[in-house]
């Protein structure tokens, strides 16, 4: 694999890892919005899967794989604090606006990852890295699905936040 | 077969031809494939009343499940004194189940609400109708002007009549202007509707009850039909015990009466339906048990489906579902080899994990095998409630009336023309807010008024403690319209007493699209009023009008509303335009859309006709018109597929058992009516907990022990029954609340369930929760 293609994959790995972290953070911040909690956690797992596949692809090509993002005990404590805070805050009329803000940020991150996949996909096609093309095809399709979900959820929330009260 | 509880003698006052409490399905009338189902006349009369005493038989149908059995109500001295099944009706051929035979007695129960009640200084006190409705309308206007329509929510039922849903939908959308309108059908049939929208382009049952008479194999998934629709089970039993017996494949974690009759019983682990169904479809594809001509001509998405199920071999699914791979293969062989397959689906799928994806996979089986629209070849995505179909059709359950698409500007304009309002008046920036989200808005405080009609969310929604705390908030004005002081009504600020079935005229439609007219037989008690009359009166007090300043709801009779609905539905998939009251009176039950849908291999999936542009069924992300056009369905059905993933809560060391819930054959919903029928109440007076013999022995428990079942959210206490059931699974019935036992132990199953719903249909997941069991007494 060409070093620049490997570097692009490395960037994509970082993007997927950050997206996974942010999905988990949004999930825990909005634990009282139960669909957000469950779906964001499951989308985080989807990002983990992409990151894992990217690491395998790099290792198989003899490149140094980036480190797996470790959440560690500190993260677990933060997640619990976030979840408890969101449950305590669940009755506040500010939670809708916060959710809208967080989903918007998530959408920006996911868009960046989607473009990352496009860059890698084009490189993979030109380099005839057929396995990587296969990886691109699933990865970009799934992140496009994530974007669709985030947009669907934003469309649900925005009218209530902006027009009621 | 063991029953919930046997009465020891005559407990009520009704007299029936045979004891339908001991034998809920009655005597067998076996018949062979293609023959007509023999009639059997079922009658229940008040003791001391003979058929000669009846002054009039009034045409109606039963409202205690989705079967819609045609019956006549016997009237004497202005009172209901009995019911008899209508032998000429296509649905039941004269039969009635235990709830139909006995449930009518609830109408005359002294607990009926007869006056509006207003909460003053913490207590509900009687007020007159003018005061009650002026307060309701005044509060509404105040909230509309201060906070906007988005601060108002309407949560209704699967128990109203068609006319009431349609009027409510018009009032809510074009009058109040709020998008927060849903029915409790969200808990019951939202997934049925959603799966049909995803697969076939619109809601609408493809199959017919007559398919029972013609099929060679039955596939029942999460559908304990023996308890949920007793008369449909009688029909199936009559085939199973007749010549040309159809094969029977059953998916249910419990050894139900249906499972007892099965050739293959797949007692899957809760929350794993999709893994099993993916494996069955895997087998159909791998063995080419596929009608390639049908798939090629009438579907899109086969390649995606085949790719998704590729890794779901029976061996893989067997690990996930904890059933033998050989049984999965046997089931697939029956399903793949039968010339005529009828599948039925209910809450074991709809209220379980990955509901929409699972229900779609059952539709996929029928598309793969080309088994739709012909005698014996059908799928019944069942309803639970008697009038759920109408809530969906008439737009009271989240969708626009007439299976119209909120994303389609032409559809919205059609409604605007019919109602003489501007299209922008009708909320269509999104789908109707689903019930769980509505309660979330109430929890956050952005919803200030909640109008609850004919349903009991305090007991029926998941995580009861959370729901109670939402309903009790001072900042939320709760109006409850009901016939009895339900647990929800006890928490209300204003209670409006409603007339019910038998006390008002209207129509409703059962699971297989059969429309019945139900005529008024008696006067409602005291000041109770029909829901339609309350809705129209409230609308008048609000002063809602069309764009010419005329009243928006200019109706006085049910038939006038029905005729408006006929015009609204004309040309849509659920076209009622040629089904008039006169025809319903003369002919009895009539199916809209004919006996079966899609016999012409044409599906409502063009971008112009479809009710829904579809979703990613794993996340619920909505597709746009452009996405839908790119799919190119254009009249062909759509394969939707997804991988199985683990449920949101699974048993662990701390909470080692999987909790599931369901019904008693003797009760409906939260027993609001059935507990007021003496025979039904005596047959199943209190809750219980079911587990397998092995699990009970492991905890040193014996039959009758008082046990505590506890999840992370709450607990119930009830006596233990040892019944055949898969190991590790515990069952609790969902009927029991606290209105008739306010100081007793906690017994509502939803104290334990979790707040989680299917991402596509938004139906709550009642059937997966982890619990632990302890003995608290004997």
Q: Is the pTM of this model over 0.80?
A: yes
How much is the ipTM here?
0.92
Token pair of B565 as six digits = 């609905």
Distance CA B128, CA B430 (A): 38
Closest CA to A142 of B521, B616, B528: B616
pLDDT at A71: 59
**Can you say whether the dihedral through the CA atoms of B115, B118, B122, B125 is positive or negative?**
negative
Residues of chain B positioned with their CB less than 8 A from the CB of A159: 150, 179, 429-430
Chain B residues in contact with A165 (beta carbon < 8 A) = 147-148, 151, 446
- Kindly report, residue by residue over B95-144, the tens digit of the pLDDT: 999 999 999 999 999 999 999 999 999 999 999 999 999 999 999 999 99
pLDDT at A84: 75
Question: Can you tell me the distance from the alpha carbon of A56 to that of A50, in angstroms, rounded to the nearest whole number?
Answer: 10
User: Residue B443: its chain A contacts at CB < 8 A?
Assistant: 32, 90-91
Inspect the interface and report whether the beta carbons of A93 and B179 lie closer than 8 Å: no
Query: What are the two backbone dihedrals, phi and then psi, of residue B106, each rounded to the nearest 5 degrees?
Result: -60, -30
Please state whether B167 falls in left (phi above 0), alpha (psi between -120 and 50) or beta: alpha
Positions of E strands within B538-621: 590-591
Chosen from A49, A160, A162, A165 to mutate, greatest number of chain B CBs within 10 A: A160
Buried b vs exposed e over A68-77: b needs ≥16 C-beta within 10 Å?
A: ebeeeeeeee
Average pLDDT of chain B is 95
- By C-alpha distance, which of B493, B394, B365 is closest to B163? B394
User: Tens digit of pLDDT per residue, chain A (165 long)?
Assistant: 899 999 999 999 999 999 999 999 999 999 999 999 999 999 999 999 999 999 999 999 999 888 876 655 566 777 777 777 777 777 777 889 999 999 999 999 999 999 999 999 999 999 999 999 999 999 999 999 999 999 999 999 999 999 998
Interface test with B, best of A93, A152, A153 (most B CBs within 10 A): A152
In contact, B341 and B246? CB cutoff 8 Å = no
Contacts of B618 in chain A (CB under 8 A): 145
Q: With a CB-CB cutoff of 8 Å, which residues 27-66 of chain A face chain B?
A: 32-35, 38-39, 42-43
pLDDT attached to residue B13? 46
| Cβ-defined contact of B150 to A163 (cutoff 8 Å) | yes
pLDDT of B4 reads 30
For the segment B251-286, what is each residue's pLDDT rounded down to a tens digit?
999 999 999 999 999 999 999 999 999 999 999 999
Task: Look at B619 and A160 and tell me if their CB atoms are within 8 Å.
Answer: no
Chain Cα centroid distance, residue B40:
27
Instruction: Please give the backbone phi and psi of residue A41, each rounded to the nearest 5 degrees, phi first.
Output: -65, -40
- Angstrom distance (rounded) from CA B213 to CA B31: 8
Instruction: Give the DSSP letter string of B261-325.
Output: T-SEEE-PPTT-HHHHHHHHHHHHHHTT-S-HHHHHHHEE-HHHHHHHHTT--HHHHHHHHTS-H
| H-assigned helices in B111-206 | 129-146, 162-170, 190-200
pLDDT value of residue A69: 67
Q: What integer pLDDT is reported at residue A70 of this predicted model?
A: 60
Task: Give the pLDDT score at B304.
Answer: 95
């Amino acid at each position: 694999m060409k070093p620049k293609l490997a570097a692009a994959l490395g960037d994509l790995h970082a993007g997927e890892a950050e997206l996974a972290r942010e999905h988990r953070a949004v999930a825990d911040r909005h634990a009282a919005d139960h669909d957000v909690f469950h779906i964001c956690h499951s989308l985080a797992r989807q990002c983990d899967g992409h990151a894992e596949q990217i690491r395998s692809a790099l290792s198989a090509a003899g490149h140094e794989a980036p480190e797996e993002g470790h959440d560690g005990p500190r993260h677990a404590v933060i997640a619990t604090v976030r979840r408890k805070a969101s449950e305590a805050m669940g009755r506040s009329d500010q939670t809708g606006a916060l959710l809208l803000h967080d989903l918007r940020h998530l959408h920006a991150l996911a868009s960046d990852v989607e473009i990352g996949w496009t860059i890698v996909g084009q490189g993979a096609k030109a380099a005839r890295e057929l396995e990587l093309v296969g990886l691109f095809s699933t990865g970009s399709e799934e992140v496009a699905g994530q974007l669709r979900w985030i947009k669907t959820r934003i469309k649900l929330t925005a009218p209530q936040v902006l027009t009621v009260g | 077969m063991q029953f919930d509880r046997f009465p020891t003698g005559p407990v009520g006052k009704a007299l029936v031809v045979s004891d339908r409490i001991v034998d809920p399905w009655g005597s067998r009338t076996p018949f062979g494939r293609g023959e007509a189902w023999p009639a059997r006349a079922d009658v229940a009369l008040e003791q001391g009343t003979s058929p000669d005493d009846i002054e009039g038989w009034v045409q109606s149908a039963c409202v205690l499940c989705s079967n819609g059995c045609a019956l006549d109500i016997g009237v004497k001295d202005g009172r209901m004194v009995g019911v008899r099944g209508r032998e000429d009706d296509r649905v039941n051929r004269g039969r009635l189940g235990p709830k139909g035979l006995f449930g009518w007695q609830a109408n005359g129960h002294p607990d009926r609400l007869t006056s509006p009640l207003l909460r003053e200084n913490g207590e509900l006190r009687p007020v007159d109708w003018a005061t009650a409705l002026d307060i309701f309308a005044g509060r509404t206007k105040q909230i509309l002007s201060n906070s906007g329509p988005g601060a108002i929510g309407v949560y209704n039922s699967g128990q109203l009549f068609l006319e009431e849903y349609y009027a409510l939908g018009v009032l809510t959308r074009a009058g109040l202007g709020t998008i927060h309108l849903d029915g409790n059908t969200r808990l019951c049939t939202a997934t049925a509707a959603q799966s049909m929208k995803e697969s076939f382009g619109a809601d609408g049952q493809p199959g017919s009850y007559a398919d029972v008479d013609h099929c060679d194999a039955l596939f029942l998934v999460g559908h304990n039909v023996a308890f949920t629709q007793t008369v449909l089970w009688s029909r199936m039993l009559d085939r199973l015990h007749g010549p040309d017996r159809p094969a029977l494949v059953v998916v249910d974690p419990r050894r139900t009466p249906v499972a007892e009759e099965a050739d293959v019983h797949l007692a899957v682990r809760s929350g794993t339906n999709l893994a099993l169904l993916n494996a069955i479809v895997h087998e159909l594809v791998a063995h080419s048990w596929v009608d390639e001509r049908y798939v090629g001509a009438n579907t899109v998405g086969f390649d995606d489906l085949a790719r998704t199920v590729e890794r779901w071999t029976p061996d893989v699914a067997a690990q996930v579902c904890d059933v033998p791979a050989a049984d999965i293969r046997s089931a697939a062989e029956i399903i793949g080899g039968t010339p005529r397959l009828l599948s039925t689906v209910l809450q074991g799928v709809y209220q379980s994990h990955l509901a929409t994806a699972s229900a779609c996979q059952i539709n996929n089986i029928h598309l793969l095998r080309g088994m739709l629209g012909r005698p014996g070849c059908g799928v019944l995505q069942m309803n639970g409630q008697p009038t759920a179909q109408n809530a969906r059709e008439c737009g009271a359950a989240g969708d626009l009336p007439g299976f119209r698409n909120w994303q389609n500007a032409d559809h919205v304009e059609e409604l605007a023309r019919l109602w003489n309002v501007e299209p922008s008046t009708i909320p269509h920036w999104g789908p109707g807010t689903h019930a769980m989200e509505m309660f979330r808005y109430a929890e956050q405080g952005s919803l200030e008024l909640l109008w609850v009609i004919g349903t009991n969310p305090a007991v029926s929604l998941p995580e009861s403690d959370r729901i109670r705390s939402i309903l009790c908030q001072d900042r939320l004005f709760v109006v409850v319209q009901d016939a009895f002081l339900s647990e929800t009504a006890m928490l209300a600020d204003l209670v409006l007493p409603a007339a019910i079935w038998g006390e008002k005229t209207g129509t409703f439609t059962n699971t297989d699209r059969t429309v019945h007219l139900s005529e008024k037989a008696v006067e409602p008690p005291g000041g109770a009023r029909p829901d339609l009359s309350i809705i129209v009166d409230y609308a008048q007090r609000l002063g809602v009008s069309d764009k010419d300043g005329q009243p928006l709801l200019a109706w006085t009779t049910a038939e006038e509303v029905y005729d408006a609905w006929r015009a609204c539905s004309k040309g849509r998939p659920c076209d009622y335009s040629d089904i008039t009251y006169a025809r319903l009176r003369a002919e009895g039950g009539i199916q809209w859309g004919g006996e079966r849908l899609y016999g012409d291999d044409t599906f409502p999936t063009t971008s112009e006709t479809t009710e829904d542009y579809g979703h990613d069924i794993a996340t619920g992300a909505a597709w746009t018109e452009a996405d839908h056009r790119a799919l190119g369905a254009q009249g062909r059905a759509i394969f939707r597929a997804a991988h199985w993933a683990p449920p949101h809560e699974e048993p662990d060391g701390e909470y080692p058992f999987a909790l599931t819930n369901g019904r008693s054959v003797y009760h409906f919903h939260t027993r609001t009516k059935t507990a007021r029928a003496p025979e039904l109440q005596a047959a199943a007076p209190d809750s219980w907990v079911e587990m397998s013999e092995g699990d009970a022995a492991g905890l040193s428990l014996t039959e009758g022990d008082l046990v505590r079942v506890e999840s992370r959210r709450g607990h119930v206490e009830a006596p233990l029954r040892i019944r055949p059931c898969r190991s590790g699974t515990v069952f609790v019935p969902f009927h029991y609340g606290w209105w008739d036992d306010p100081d007793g132990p906690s017994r509502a199953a939803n104290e334990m369930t979790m707040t989680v719903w299917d991402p596509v249909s938004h139906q709550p997941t009642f059937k997966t929760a982890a619990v632990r069991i302890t003995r608290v007494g004997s």
